[in-house]
Amino acid sequence: MPRIEPTRFVFQPVQLVRPCKIVAYRITEAIRAGDVRIGERLPSEQKLSEQLGVSRPTLREAIKLLVQAGIIQVVAGSAGGLFVISETVPPGLSGLPLPEPQIEDIDSAMEARRLFEPHVARMAALYATPADFERMRGAVELSQQTSASPRRGRVSDAVAQRMTVASTRFNIAVARATQNSVIVQMMEVMMRRMEVVRMLAVRALPDIAMSTQTLANSLKAIESGDPAQIDRATAERIEVLEAAWQLVSGKPPRRRRLSLAEAEEGVADKPVRQKKPARR
């Protein structure tokens, strides 16, 4: 047998996850998606362990992590239980571990959004149930309430977080409306990749009502079922975020050509124009 040169491939480290963290991730997924709201009580320890298919000691470890993160509060007594007290989920508890994002990962995530989200929104328009539309409306209402709240000076961390929660919740609701579990999982990963970008970008917007308006426009487009309107509304949402990120980073998002026609028109790698604040 001839001598074969050793591979140059470099294996990436494996990130091991404790079972209790996986349980905590599953609970925070429901909170991030808006299935469980602030003030609501989780099922009893016995029922929750049965629903999740884990032992009660593993569940207790997961609850301990959520309590330490300020997401769950344990209330003693006959009227007590496990109560959700925050929708703010730290990155370490918002899904299975991902490698730390590099700047090129952010470019890749924003480019992937342009490929992925218009098609997901089109599919949602075809298969959404009344419950799906109710979830989308709830996310838009959260964004409207947050952007309309009185404030002075720069956008606070709490406001930026709530705007991010609203946008994430809307995207997950749209993905769920496709009735395709793999699309939901892909959307959840993409939203986690975009979370840091969105938090920084919201603060850079001249008026955060712009974010709310694009969210409302997306909902209206999906309700209309018109593919062209859906594509325009989705592109508008993405462009507002890209423009804000460009202000923060000083670097235009990567915009590679997707067709020969775009190459001939010189569409690729054009800087994103800053959107003017929407009038309300």
Residues in contact with 30: Cβ distance below 8 Å, sequence separation at least 6, in sequence order: 36
Per-residue pLDDT tens for 19-43? 898 899 889 888 888 899 999 999 9
Mean pLDDT of the chain: 85
Give the number of C-alpha atoms closer than 13 A to the C-alpha of residue 95, restricted to the C-beta side. Answer: 16
> What is the mean predicted confidence (pLDDT) over 106-126?
92
Structure token pair of residue 49: 């362990």
Please give the model's pTM, rounded to 2 decimal places. 0.76
Structure token pair of residue 134: 């109710």
Per-residue pLDDT tens for 203-223? 777 788 888 999 999 999 999
Three-state secondary-structure class, residue 20: helix
- Residue 81 phi/psi, 5-degree rounding, is 145, -160
- Confidence band, pLDDT 50/70/90 cuts, at residue 141: very high
Amino acid at 128: A
Structure token pair of residue 11: 């294996």
CATH architecture of 19-87: Orthogonal Bundle (1.10)
Domain residue extents for the chain? 19-87, 103-256
Fold match, 19-87 / 103-256: no
Element (H, E) at 75: strand 72-75
> What is the mean predicted confidence (pLDDT) over 148-174?
84
- Comparing CA positions, the residue from 190, 145, 146 lying closest to residue 172 is 190
Per-residue pLDDT tens for 221-268? 999 999 999 999 999 999 988 888 888 888 887 878 777 776 666 655
What does R_g of the chain's alpha carbons equal in angstroms? 21
CATH match of 103-256 with 3.40.50.720: no
